[in-house]
C-alpha cells in the first residue's frame, strides 16, 4: 500500500455546532502529524455533520502544510457547477495544490422535501446526470464559461472561471458504485473512488469484493493510468481500552445485518466493517480481491464515536495497521 487516508463526516451538536467543526479541524491536524497522506470529508446536507466540506478544507489548508484533502463525495445535485468550480479552485490554490475533489451524480436525496428551497418553481428542469458532471469538469479545466471577456468600466472580466488552478482537473475523482459509473469515470479521465457500498446489479451471489473488483477492472480498462482508492470502514483496536473495543464491536454488529442482502430499490450491497487488531485486519484485507487491486485506501471513520476514539483509531492506523500493510508515514513538510 502506497497511500493511506481517512474519511470523516464531522459530527456536531445542533445547539452549538462550532466545537464539532473545530474537532474536525484538529482531527485533520492529527492526521498530518501521524503521517497520513490524505484526509477526506463527506457532505451531510440538512444533517448534523459537515454540510460544506470545501469551506472546512479551506480552514484546514491554513492549519496544515502537507496532508492532501478530498471530498468523498460532493453530490452534484446540490451544487451549481460554475460556483463549485470557483470554490474548488480557490481552496486548491490556498492549499498549494492539495485538493482532491470527489463528486457523484444523481438527484438530491429527498428531493421532493427540499425542492422548494433548492430548486423552487418556476426554475427550469435540472439535469442531475452526466451533463452536470461534464460541465463541472470543463469549468475546472478552464474552458469557456462566459461569452464576454474584457473591461466594463473599471471591472475586468474573464471568459473562464477564476481563479484557475491548472493541476486541479487531473485530481478530480468520481464516486462510483456500479459498473456503468466506474466505466464512465474512466472515460472522463477521472480517478475512481470506491467505498463500502456497491450496486449488486443482480450479482450479489458473487459477494461484495468480487463486485467491487469488477468495477475497478472496468475503470482501468477505460483509463489504465487513473488512480483508484478503496474506502472501507476499518477499526483497529491495538491500543483501544476494553470499553472502546466493546463499543466498536457493538457498532459493527449492529450494522452487519444490512450486509447480507441488497438494500433498497437500487439494490445496494454494503461491505462488513472490519474490527480487531491490526494483524487480523491485514489478513482480511489481503483476502479481499478488490483491496489487492489498489495501492491506496481511504478508511472511513465510524460516524458516531467520541473524539478520543478517533485519536486512538487514527493512531493505530498510522502506527500499527499501515506499516503491517507495507505503508510508511509521510514525513512532515520542511
The owner of cell 479541524 is: 25
CA–CA dist 189, 328 (Å, integer): 28
By DSSP bridging, strand 268-270 and strand 197-199 are: antiparallel
Residue 285, pLDDT > 70, answer yes
Check residue 330 and report its DSSP letter. Answer: P
The average confidence (pLDDT) of the chain is 96
Least confident of 44-58, 108-122, 169-183: 108-122
Q: Are 319 and 27 in contact (CB under 8 A)?
A: no
- Supply the pLDDT for residue 276: 98
pLDDT at 122 over 90: no
Mean pLDDT of the region 220-225 = 98
Task: Tell me the sheet residues that pair with 68.
Answer: 38
**If pLDDT is split at 50, 70 and 90, which confidence band does 125 have?**
confident
Residue from 150, 140, 154, 162 nearest 74 by CA: 140
Residue 255's CB: how many other CB atoms inside 10 A? 15
User: Positive or negative CA dihedral for 8, 92, 297, 66?
Assistant: negative
Q: How far apart are CA 222 and CA 247, in angstroms?
A: 42
CA–CA distance, 64 with 294 (Å, rounded to integer): 27
pLDDT digits (tens, 9 = 90+) for 288-313: 999 999 999 999 999 889 999 999 99
Paired with 197 in beta bridges are 270
Give the C-alpha separation, 272 to 287, whole Å: 14
Lowest mean pLDDT among 15-29, 58-72, 109-123, 129-143: 109-123
Other Cβ atoms within 10 Å of 292 Cβ, number:
13
Pairing of strands 191-194, 173-175: parallel
Mean pLDDT of 103-125: 88
Residues 6+ apart with CB under 8 A from 14: 48
Average pLDDT over residues 215-223: 98
Q: What is the pLDDT confidence band of residue 334, given thresholds at 50, 70 and 90?
A: low
Q: Side-chain half-sphere of 231: how many Cα atoms within 13 Å?
A: 29
Give CA–CA dist 149/161, Å, rounded. 11
Distance CA 98, CA 145 (A): 24
Distances (CA, A) of 302 to 8, 43, 222: 8, 15, 33
Cell triple for 255: 450494522
pTM, full prediction: 0.96
Q: Is the pLDDT at 317 greater than 90, yes or no? A: yes
Distance (Å, whole) CA 137 – CA 191:
12
Max CA separation in the chain (angstroms): 69
Q: CB neighbours (10 Å) of residue 78?
A: 19
pLDDT of 33-74, one tens digit each?
999 999 999 999 999 999 999 999 999 999 999 999 999 999
Candidates 85, 86, 92, 57; CA nearest to 71 is: 57
Per DSSP bridges, beta strands 3-8 and 38-41 are parallel
Q: Domains plus CATH for the chain? A: 3-324 (3.20.20.30)
Residue 245 DSSP SS3:
helix
**Is it the case that residue 144 has pLDDT exceeding 90?**
yes
Residue 332 has what pLDDT? Answer: 75
Grid cell in block for residue 277: 487488531
DSSP for residue 3: E
Amino acid at each position: 500500500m502506497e497511500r493511506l487516508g481517512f474519511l470523516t463526516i464531522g459530527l456536531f451538536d445542533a445547539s452549538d455546532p462550532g466545537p464539532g467543526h473545530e474537532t474536525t479541524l484538529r482531527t485533520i491536524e492529527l492526521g498530518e502529524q501521524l503521517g497520513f497522506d490524505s484526509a477526506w470529508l463527506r457532505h451531510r446536507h440538512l444533517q448534523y455533520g459537515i454540510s460544506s466540506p470545501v469551506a472546512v478544507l479551506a480552514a484546514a489548508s491554513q492549519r496544515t502544510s502537507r496532508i492532501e484533502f478530498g471530498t468523498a463525495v460532493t453530490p452534484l445535485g446540490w451544487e451549481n457547477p460554475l460556483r463549485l468550480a470557483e470554490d474548488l479552485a480557490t481552496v486548491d490554490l490556498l492549499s498549494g495544490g492539495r485538493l482532491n475533489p470527489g463528486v457523484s451524480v444523481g438527484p438530491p436525496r429527498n428531493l421532493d422535501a427540499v425542492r422548494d428551497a433548492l430548486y423552487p418553481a418556476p426554475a427550469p428542469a435540472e439535469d442531475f446526470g452526466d451533463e452536470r458532471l461534464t460541465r463541472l469538469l470543463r469549468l475546472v479545466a478552464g474552458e469557456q464559461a462566459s461569452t464576454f471577456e474584457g473591461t466594463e468600466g473599471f471591472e475586468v472580466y474573464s471568459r473562464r472561471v477564476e481563479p484557475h488552478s491548472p493541476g486541479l482537473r487531473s485530481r478530480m475523482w468520481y464516486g462510483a458504485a456500479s459498473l456503468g459509473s466506474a466505466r464512465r469515470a474512466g472515460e472522463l479521465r477521472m480517478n475512481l473512488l470506491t467505498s463500502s457500498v456497491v450496486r449488486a446489479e443482480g450479482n450479489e451471489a458473487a459477494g461484495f469484493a468480487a463486485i467491487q473488483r469488477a468495477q475497478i477492472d472496468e475503470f482501468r480498462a477505460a483509463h489504465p493510468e487513473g488512480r483508484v482508492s478503496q474506502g472501507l470502514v476499518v477499526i483497529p483496536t491495538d491500543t483501544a481500552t476494553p470499553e472502546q473495543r466493546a463499543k466498536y464491536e457493538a457498532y459493527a454488529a449492529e450494522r452487519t445485518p444490512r450486509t447480507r442482502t441488497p438494500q433498497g430499490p437500487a439494490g445496494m450491497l454494503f461491505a462488513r466493517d472490519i474490527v480487531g487488531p491490526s494483524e487480523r485486519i491485514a489478513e482480511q484485507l489481503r483476502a479481499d480481491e478488490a483491496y489487492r487491486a489498489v495501492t491506496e485506501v481511504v478508511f472511513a471513520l465510524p460516524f458516531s464515536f467520541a473524539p478520543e476514539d478517533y485519536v486512538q483509531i487514527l493512531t493505530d492506523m498510522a502506527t500499527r495497521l499501515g506499516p503491517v500493510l507495507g505503508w510508511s508515514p509521510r514525513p512532515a513538510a520542511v
